[in-house]
Chains A and B, each alone.
Chain A
């Protein structure tokens, strides 16, 4: 089955610890994204990556770090510098289009999410 997976589903962290959230996709998508969702809120972009070994900060990157060593994987590390990390984290991917195509009208495919709680 093609899709995007996240693990773990639930994660508990003590204050001062770094934790890493996994995101894997087998859709052959170039672009991958990390979002944070707080209760009753929309999604806010943390980091995004257009291609392997390249990534950019989103709107709320402080206290987070990412890597993109493989096309299929885009792990997110929540560092101790993130002051309020308790949230629902969603990973997404999209295909991207070439210049010859209609141009970037891409739906994003989302994983099931990881709920992080700081104890």
Chain B
């Protein structure tokens, strides 16, 4: 089942502007993560926000989480051409495995992504 839905599907801005991407989900989660993917490459983890957190910062990234609305946003400030990529939100549900001795593992469900283009 698709958990995360992202908006907009595509975003085109000029260098120096801020970029905001939104993510909505349907069921309870343990945390929400944002990933970046350059064209034809693997994904790179950007930031994780736990379900009991409301806002988190990392460099030029700001993530918010509203569990009552089941939504999150990713803000990239002062964007650069190098920020051009696809951005995915992923909701994580944590489960415990009896086979693995009770160790906790996360299962991610990804949204369809936002394609961000930053023009120099």
Contact = CB atoms under 8 A, between A and B. Distances in A.
B108 interface: yes
Interface residues of B, number: 36
A51 B104 CA distance: 11
B103 A111 contact: no
Contact of A30 (B103, B107, B113): B103
B113 A42 contact: yes
Interface residues of A, number: 36
Contact of B96 (A90, A99, A107, A108): A99
Contacts of B50: 105
27 contacts: A30-B100, A30-B105, A41-B112, A42-B2, A42-B4, A45-B108, A48-B107, A50-B97, A50-B99, A50-B100, A50-B103, A54-B97, A90-B43, A96-B100, A98-B102, A98-B104, A104-B30, A104-B92, A104-B96, A105-B48, A105-B50, A105-B94, A105-B106, A107-B33, A111-B42, A112-B42, A113-B42
Interface of A: 30-31, 33, 35, 40-45, 48, 50-51, 54, 59, 88, 90, 92, 94, 96-99, 101, 103-113, 115
